[in-house]
Amino acid sequence: MGKTPAHKSNPSLAEALEATANATAEETVDWAAHRFPSGGLVMTSSFGVQAAVMLHLVTRRIPDIAVIWIDTGFNFPETYQFADQLTRRFSLNVKIYQSLMSPAHMVALHGPLWEQGVEGMETYNRLRKVEPRDRAFAELGVTTWMSGLRRDQTGYRGTLRKTEPFGKILKLHPILDWSPREVRDYLKAHDLPLHPLVEKGYPSIGDWHSTVSGTGDLDDRSGRFLGLKQECGLHIPATDAENQSRDASGL
Protein backbone atom coordinates (compact mmCIF):
# COMPACT_ATOMS: atom_id res chain seq x y z
CA MET A 1 0.00 0.00 0.00
CA GLY A 2 1.51 3.33 -1.05
CA LYS A 3 1.48 6.37 1.17
CA THR A 4 -1.43 8.75 0.85
CA PRO A 5 -0.31 12.23 -0.25
CA ALA A 6 -0.16 14.66 2.67
CA HIS A 7 -2.68 16.97 1.01
CA LYS A 8 -5.44 14.36 0.97
CA SER A 9 -8.29 15.28 3.30
CA ASN A 10 -9.16 13.38 6.43
CA PRO A 11 -11.66 10.55 5.92
CA SER A 12 -15.25 10.85 6.97
CA LEU A 13 -16.44 9.00 10.05
CA ALA A 14 -18.35 6.60 7.80
CA GLU A 15 -15.20 5.79 5.82
CA ALA A 16 -13.18 5.28 8.99
CA LEU A 17 -15.83 3.02 10.49
CA GLU A 18 -15.94 0.91 7.34
CA ALA A 19 -12.15 0.64 7.19
CA THR A 20 -11.64 -0.37 10.82
CA ALA A 21 -14.78 -2.24 11.89
CA ASN A 22 -13.40 -5.70 11.09
CA ALA A 23 -9.72 -4.81 10.91
CA THR A 24 -7.08 -6.35 13.13
CA ALA A 25 -5.09 -4.12 15.43
CA GLU A 26 -2.19 -4.15 12.99
CA GLU A 27 -4.46 -3.36 10.04
CA THR A 28 -6.04 -0.48 11.95
CA VAL A 29 -2.66 1.09 12.68
CA ASP A 30 -1.47 0.53 9.09
CA TRP A 31 -4.64 2.14 7.73
CA ALA A 32 -4.17 5.16 9.98
CA ALA A 33 -0.51 5.48 9.03
CA HIS A 34 -1.34 5.66 5.33
CA ARG A 35 -4.62 7.54 5.46
CA PHE A 36 -4.05 10.57 7.67
CA PRO A 37 -2.01 13.66 6.82
CA SER A 38 1.38 13.81 8.48
CA GLY A 39 1.43 15.57 11.83
CA GLY A 40 -2.22 15.18 12.86
CA LEU A 41 -1.99 11.55 13.99
CA VAL A 42 -0.92 10.97 17.61
CA MET A 43 -1.24 8.38 20.33
CA THR A 44 -1.50 8.76 24.09
CA SER A 45 0.07 6.65 26.80
CA SER A 46 -0.17 6.73 30.58
CA PHE A 47 2.80 4.34 30.84
CA GLY A 48 0.57 2.05 32.84
CA VAL A 49 0.55 -1.70 33.33
CA GLN A 50 0.37 -2.81 29.69
CA ALA A 51 1.62 0.37 27.98
CA ALA A 52 4.35 -1.52 26.15
CA VAL A 53 1.76 -3.30 23.99
CA MET A 54 0.38 -0.23 22.22
CA LEU A 55 3.74 1.53 22.16
CA HIS A 56 5.35 -1.44 20.44
CA LEU A 57 2.41 -2.11 18.12
CA VAL A 58 2.20 1.48 16.89
CA THR A 59 5.81 2.67 16.84
CA ARG A 60 7.09 -0.33 14.89
CA ARG A 61 4.81 0.95 12.10
CA ILE A 62 4.99 4.71 12.77
CA PRO A 63 8.36 5.24 14.51
CA ASP A 64 8.14 9.02 14.84
CA ILE A 65 4.51 9.32 15.96
CA ALA A 66 4.00 11.81 18.79
CA VAL A 67 3.27 9.95 22.04
CA ILE A 68 1.39 12.30 24.34
CA TRP A 69 1.85 11.66 28.04
CA ILE A 70 -0.41 13.64 30.36
CA ASP A 71 1.77 13.71 33.48
CA THR A 72 -0.27 14.66 36.54
CA GLY A 73 2.83 15.16 38.68
CA PHE A 74 1.51 12.54 41.09
CA ASN A 75 2.71 9.36 39.40
CA PHE A 76 4.52 6.64 41.28
CA PRO A 77 8.33 6.83 41.03
CA GLU A 78 8.15 3.46 39.28
CA THR A 79 5.93 4.96 36.57
CA TYR A 80 8.51 7.63 35.75
CA GLN A 81 11.20 4.95 35.66
CA PHE A 82 9.05 2.70 33.45
CA ALA A 83 8.35 5.61 31.08
CA ASP A 84 12.08 6.28 30.80
CA GLN A 85 12.75 2.60 30.13
CA LEU A 86 10.17 2.37 27.34
CA THR A 87 11.18 5.73 25.86
CA ARG A 88 14.76 4.55 25.47
CA ARG A 89 13.83 1.07 24.27
CA PHE A 90 11.45 2.26 21.53
CA SER A 91 13.11 5.66 20.85
CA LEU A 92 9.76 7.28 21.57
CA ASN A 93 8.84 10.78 20.46
CA VAL A 94 7.25 11.64 23.81
CA LYS A 95 5.41 14.92 24.27
CA ILE A 96 4.86 15.53 27.99
CA TYR A 97 2.02 17.81 29.01
CA GLN A 98 1.23 18.88 32.55
CA SER A 99 -1.27 21.12 34.29
CA LEU A 100 -0.40 24.82 34.27
CA MET A 101 -0.92 24.66 38.06
CA SER A 102 1.84 22.84 39.92
CA PRO A 103 0.88 20.04 42.33
CA ALA A 104 1.87 22.17 45.33
CA HIS A 105 -0.13 25.13 44.05
CA MET A 106 -3.21 22.98 43.48
CA VAL A 107 -3.09 21.44 46.95
CA ALA A 108 -2.57 24.85 48.54
CA LEU A 109 -5.70 26.23 46.85
CA HIS A 110 -7.98 23.20 46.83
CA GLY A 111 -6.59 20.78 49.39
CA PRO A 112 -6.15 17.08 48.58
CA LEU A 113 -8.89 16.80 45.98
CA TRP A 114 -8.55 13.01 45.90
CA GLU A 115 -9.92 12.95 49.45
CA GLN A 116 -13.03 14.98 48.53
CA GLY A 117 -15.25 12.30 47.01
CA VAL A 118 -16.40 12.04 43.40
CA GLU A 119 -16.71 15.81 42.99
CA GLY A 120 -13.15 16.28 44.19
CA MET A 121 -11.86 13.60 41.81
CA GLU A 122 -13.69 15.21 38.92
CA THR A 123 -12.13 18.58 39.69
CA TYR A 124 -8.73 16.90 40.00
CA ASN A 125 -9.13 15.15 36.65
CA ARG A 126 -10.22 18.37 34.96
CA LEU A 127 -7.23 20.30 36.28
CA ARG A 128 -4.51 17.72 35.93
CA LYS A 129 -5.64 15.61 32.97
CA VAL A 130 -8.35 17.09 30.77
CA GLU A 131 -6.97 20.63 30.46
CA PRO A 132 -3.44 19.44 29.58
CA ARG A 133 -4.90 16.99 27.06
CA ASP A 134 -6.94 19.70 25.36
CA ARG A 135 -3.91 22.00 25.26
CA ALA A 136 -1.74 19.22 23.82
CA PHE A 137 -4.25 18.50 21.07
CA ALA A 138 -4.53 22.19 20.19
CA GLU A 139 -0.78 22.84 20.15
CA LEU A 140 0.03 19.69 18.18
CA GLY A 141 -2.82 20.13 15.69
CA VAL A 142 -4.27 16.71 16.46
CA THR A 143 -6.86 15.36 14.04
CA THR A 144 -6.65 11.66 14.90
CA TRP A 145 -6.00 10.04 18.27
CA MET A 146 -5.03 6.41 18.86
CA SER A 147 -5.37 4.91 22.33
CA GLY A 148 -5.12 1.48 23.89
CA LEU A 149 -8.62 1.23 25.39
CA ARG A 150 -10.13 -2.23 25.54
CA ARG A 151 -13.80 -3.08 25.59
CA ASP A 152 -13.58 -5.35 28.64
CA GLN A 153 -11.96 -2.75 30.93
CA THR A 154 -14.97 -0.64 31.98
CA GLY A 155 -18.66 -0.34 31.25
CA TYR A 156 -18.10 2.82 29.20
CA ARG A 157 -15.37 1.21 27.12
CA GLY A 158 -17.69 -1.70 26.43
CA THR A 159 -19.88 0.68 24.40
CA LEU A 160 -17.09 1.77 22.06
CA ARG A 161 -16.22 0.84 18.50
CA LYS A 162 -12.86 0.86 16.76
CA THR A 163 -13.54 4.38 15.51
CA GLU A 164 -15.56 7.18 17.08
CA PRO A 165 -15.75 10.97 17.06
CA PHE A 166 -14.28 12.85 19.99
CA GLY A 167 -15.36 16.41 19.38
CA LYS A 168 -13.72 17.25 16.05
CA ILE A 169 -11.10 14.55 16.50
CA LEU A 170 -11.30 11.01 15.16
CA LYS A 171 -10.44 8.46 17.82
CA LEU A 172 -9.08 4.98 17.00
CA HIS A 173 -8.92 1.96 19.34
CA PRO A 174 -6.74 -0.65 17.59
CA ILE A 175 -6.80 -3.24 20.41
CA LEU A 176 -10.38 -2.61 21.52
CA ASP A 177 -11.41 -6.24 20.99
CA TRP A 178 -8.36 -7.85 22.54
CA SER A 179 -8.86 -10.18 25.48
CA PRO A 180 -6.54 -10.28 28.50
CA ARG A 181 -5.02 -13.44 27.05
CA GLU A 182 -4.25 -11.72 23.74
CA VAL A 183 -2.52 -8.92 25.65
CA ARG A 184 -0.44 -11.41 27.61
CA ASP A 185 0.40 -13.35 24.44
CA TYR A 186 1.57 -10.18 22.71
CA LEU A 187 3.72 -9.19 25.67
CA LYS A 188 5.30 -12.64 25.74
CA ALA A 189 5.79 -12.90 21.98
CA HIS A 190 7.71 -9.63 21.85
CA ASP A 191 9.43 -9.92 25.25
CA LEU A 192 7.79 -6.74 26.51
CA PRO A 193 7.81 -5.64 30.15
CA LEU A 194 4.88 -4.94 32.45
CA HIS A 195 4.89 -1.98 34.81
CA PRO A 196 7.13 -2.91 37.77
CA LEU A 197 4.33 -2.35 40.31
CA VAL A 198 2.44 -5.35 38.91
CA GLU A 199 4.76 -7.52 41.00
CA LYS A 200 3.54 -5.64 44.08
CA GLY A 201 -0.12 -6.41 43.42
CA TYR A 202 -1.20 -3.36 41.41
CA PRO A 203 -3.24 -4.52 38.38
CA SER A 204 -4.06 -0.98 37.19
CA ILE A 205 -1.87 1.98 38.03
CA GLY A 206 -2.62 5.68 38.18
CA ASP A 207 -1.56 8.35 40.68
CA TRP A 208 0.05 7.28 43.94
CA HIS A 209 -2.60 8.92 46.14
CA SER A 210 -5.61 7.19 44.60
CA THR A 211 -4.37 3.78 43.48
CA VAL A 212 -4.48 0.74 45.71
CA SER A 213 -3.64 -2.88 45.06
CA GLY A 214 -6.45 -4.94 43.58
CA THR A 215 -7.39 -8.53 42.96
CA GLY A 216 -4.32 -9.48 40.96
CA ASP A 217 -6.31 -9.58 37.71
CA LEU A 218 -4.43 -7.48 35.13
CA ASP A 219 -7.71 -5.94 34.00
CA ASP A 220 -9.16 -5.09 37.40
CA ARG A 221 -9.63 -1.30 37.75
CA SER A 222 -11.30 -1.47 41.17
CA GLY A 223 -8.14 -0.15 42.78
CA ARG A 224 -8.23 3.09 40.78
CA PHE A 225 -9.58 6.39 42.15
CA LEU A 226 -10.13 4.77 45.58
CA GLY A 227 -12.95 2.71 44.08
CA LEU A 228 -15.05 5.83 43.36
CA LYS A 229 -14.55 5.87 39.60
CA GLN A 230 -13.23 3.69 36.78
CA GLU A 231 -12.53 6.42 34.21
CA CYS A 232 -10.04 9.27 34.60
CA GLY A 233 -11.98 11.57 32.29
CA LEU A 234 -9.51 11.63 29.40
CA HIS A 235 -11.57 9.29 27.23
CA ILE A 236 -15.13 10.35 28.08
CA PRO A 237 -16.77 13.16 26.07
CA ALA A 238 -16.70 16.18 28.35
CA THR A 239 -19.38 18.36 26.77
CA ASP A 240 -22.94 17.97 25.53
CA ALA A 241 -21.71 18.71 22.01
CA GLU A 242 -19.21 15.84 22.17
CA ASN A 243 -21.88 13.48 23.48
CA GLN A 244 -24.30 14.54 20.74
CA SER A 245 -21.62 13.99 18.14
CA ARG A 246 -21.05 10.46 19.40
CA ASP A 247 -24.80 9.75 19.62
CA ALA A 248 -25.40 11.08 16.12
CA SER A 249 -22.76 8.75 14.74
CA GLY A 250 -24.65 5.69 15.90
CA LEU A 251 -21.79 4.56 18.11
Q: For the residues 9-34, what does the mean pLDDT come to?
A: 88
Q: Where are the domains of the chain?
A: 13-249
Structure confidence at residue 208 (pLDDT): 92
* Annotated active-site residue in 232, 235, 245, 246: 232
From residue 176, how far is each of 28, 69, 147 by CA, in Å?
A: 11, 20, 9
User: Does the pTM of the predicted model rise above 0.85?
Assistant: no
- Is 131 a catalytic site residue? no
* pLDDT exceeds cutoff 60 at 215: no
What pLDDT is stored for residue 152 in this prediction? 81
Q: Average per-residue pLDDT in the chain?
A: 84
Q: What's the pLDDT at 248? A: 32
Q: What is the mean pLDDT of residues 9-30?
A: 88
Residue 96: its pLDDT value, please?
98
Nearest CA to 194 among 79, 96, 93, 90? 79
Specify the range with the lowest mean pLDDT, choosing from 47-61, 70-84, 124-138, 147-161: 147-161
User: Which CATH number applies to 13-249: 1.10.1040.10, 3.40.50.620, 3.40.50.970, 2.60.40.10?
Assistant: 3.40.50.620
pLDDT value of position 158: 77
- Whole-number pLDDT of residue 234: 63
What is the secondary structure of 237-248 as a DSSP string?
A: --SHHHHHHHHH
- Which pLDDT score is estimated for 240? 45
- Among 29-33, 53-57, 104-108, 225-229, which is the least confidently predicted range? 225-229
- pLDDT surpassing 70 at residue 239: no
pLDDT value for 82:
98
The residue that leads in pLDDT, 127 or 245, is 127
245, pLDDT greater than 80: no
